[in-house]
Chains A and B, each alone.
Chain A
Amino acid sequence: MEGTITAPASRAHCEIGRRVRRLSAWADRRLFILFIAPGFVCLSAVIFYPAIYNLVVSFTDASLVYPSTSFVGIDNYSDTVADPAFWRAALITLLWTSLSVAGQLLVGLLGALALEHVTAGRAALRLALVVPWAFPSIVLAFDWRFMLDPLYGVANHLLMLLGLIDAPAAWLSQRPTALPVLVLMNVWFGFPFMMVSLIAGLAAIPREQYEAAMVDGANFWQEFRFITLPGLARIMATLVILRTIWVFNNFEFVFLTTGGGPVDATTTLPIYAFNIGWIGYDLGRMAAVAVLMMAMLSLILAIYFRVLRAAEAAP
């Protein structure tokens, strides 16, 4: 009698146990969702939602001034693409980005290599060279404006003392000098990040490689060409990608120094977008410009990644 009662109970227990195990296995396989969920929610809130909202707004005539908004199809895109100022701004943005990133990388690399050979006061020197990176860009932009001011600026004073110029120049309001000066400022501002990262990269290159090269009689340039540069290639690629994204989208440095002028000589795409949205109050078109900027940046990075992959695949 007991047996007849126990057997089904035991089967039921086994069945429950199997179900619990299946459930926990199912839960185990999906546990990653639990860990990913908070990050995904945060990303959705700060990236996906604004990006999708921006895309939606780009098809409307949303304005900072007028409360009503209506759907305008692709008008904002066609108006933007038809505007010669947009293409000028795109060209200036490419120049500004490529020259700034190249300059930052070059100066950062030189700084990192130089610091490698410094033995005394290395930490203090490294700290001093990182100073530009440590200050808010508004402070740096105004510092540069004052230094370059045609009336008060120390830059003109020194250049006149050295006999390099006859009279004070308005560096930021002349077409030939405005963009180069901005690039110079940006190189100065951005090179410490490159330098610190490359110093870390240099430390990761095995010393044995240099010792072997020395035994083989390699000179500095051969060491640099065949050991240092390949050793830093990956970190340099990452740095260039990161800085390209940051500089391409940089707004405050240009805005606080030249505001995009003289005329349109330093009007980059972020300044162009700002002028349309916050000065012209046309949020819909500003959103369209932002979408086009994202497409351009994606294209640039896609080309860059393709070149990188090709370089890595090469023997």
Chain B
Amino acid sequence: MSWDDALQAAVATTKAPAHFGWILKLSKGDTGGGYLLWMLARSANASLYDAEGNVTLDSPGVKDAVRYMVELAKRASGPGALEYKISDNFSLVNSGRTSLTEDSAAIVAAAAADSPAVAEQLDATFMPRRERVGNLMAGISVALPKGQNAEDGRRLAAFLFAEENYIPFLHTIPLFMFPALKRADNPVFYAQPTIARFRNVVDVTLKGLESASLPGMEHGINPYAAQIFNTHIIEDMFQRILVDNQPVDTAIGTAASAMTTVIRDTKRRLGKA
């Protein structure tokens, strides 16, 4: 599915004021705008910043992704896009208010539990592509610095990854957690009823994981990503465009400048300047 296909589907299924094709989550209290822009920029073979930490927000690929999201917001997102956070995805889908959304597997899982009639209508596919698909992976890790609980943490990790515990652990919230170990990728994992029912969602997600990276980490682990997304520079940029009608180029310039400051400060503190 291309960007244009997704936009057409979103616009065609928009029935304002009750139903919208793709309600974006652009609240400044969350990272919904930043994550989606990163995915779309990746699909245009672009990045928000390069491996050295140079901001590339004004590259053609990112600019196209920004314009695409602005069009989506204006034509298929409705008036609430600037208020919604990523967590609002669940209620937006469960109430049948949005046709398309990102973050499919977890959303389908919640709908299957809370709104089965809606869940029956749901399926997943890859994110819209331009040059490629930009897949975002959310990885949860446990850091164990020196402290009293380090040994307990190691024991917990060993317990969770133990053969007899790992798949039951993944099944505690089906479609939220996927096998990180090869041995868990087996029929026992797929036999869980929700996973079996939404097998295509699982397959698409696992296929996507093969080419996914953590947001902002496509060039490798770096200290900038968390600060770039958590400072909500991207969401602020979209709000300036959509609320203040600021020209896209101007808003991107302001955001790029803010991003450069964040990265410069990070480099200075790490002695990389």
Binding site for B on A (CB under 8 A): 61, 63, 65-66, 68, 145, 149-152, 167-170, 172-175, 255, 259-263, 265, 275, 279-282
Contacts and interface: CB of A to CB of B under 8 A. Distances in A.
Contacts of B92: 151
Interface string B203-242: 0000000000000000000000001001110001001100
B269 A261 contact: no
A255 B27 CA distance: 12
B124 interface: no
A262 B239 contact: yes
22 contacts: A68-B269, A145-B83, A149-B80, A150-B78, A151-B78, A151-B92, A151-B95, A167-B17, A170-B80, A175-B243, A255-B29, A259-B27, A259-B29, A261-B27, A261-B82, A262-B243, A263-B240, A279-B230, A279-B231, A280-B227, A280-B231, A282-B265
Interface in B57-83: 78-80, 82-83
B77 to A, nearest CB: 11
B129 interface: no
B173 interface: no
A150 B80 contact: yes
B16 A167 contact: yes
B25 interface: no
Interface string B70-109: 0000000011101100000001100101000000000000
B268 to A, nearest CB: 9
Nearest to A265: B243
Interface in B88-137: 91-92, 95, 97
A169 B17 CA distance: 10
Contacts, number: 72
A176 to B, nearest CB: 10
A264 to B, nearest CB: 8
B244 interface: yes
B13 to A, nearest CB: 15
A65 B230 CA distance: 13
B42 interface: no
Contacts of B29: 255, 259, 261
A101 to B, nearest CB: 26
Given A63-B269, A152-B95, A279-B230, A263 B244 contact: yes
Nearest to B20: A151
A175 B239 CA distance: 11
Nearest to B30: A259
Nearest to B230: A279
| Closest CB pairs A-B (n = 7) | A259-B29, A173-B82, A170-B79, A150-B80, A150-B79, A262-B243, A261-B28
B188 interface: no
Contacts of A170: 79-80, 82-83
Interface in B8-27: 16-18, 27
B120 to A, nearest CB: 22
Nearest to A255: B29
A261 B97 contact: no
B227 A173 contact: no
Contacts of A172: 83
A149 B82 CA distance: 11
Interface in B229-266: 230-232, 236, 239-240, 243-244, 262, 265
B50 to A, nearest CB: 22
Nearest to A66: B269
A100 B270 CA distance: 44
Nearest to B29: A259
A273 to B, nearest CB: 15
**Which of A151, A170, A260 gathers most chain B CB within 10 Å?**
A151
A262 B28 CA distance: 8
A16 to B, nearest CB: 57
Given A173-B79, A173-B82, A261-B27, 15 more contacts: A149-B83, A167-B17, A169-B79, A170-B79, A170-B80, A173-B83, A173-B243, A174-B243, A259-B29, A262-B239, A262-B243, A275-B231, A279-B230, A279-B231, A280-B231
Contacts of A265: 243
Contacts of B265: 282
A175 B79 CA distance: 13
Contacts of A63: 269
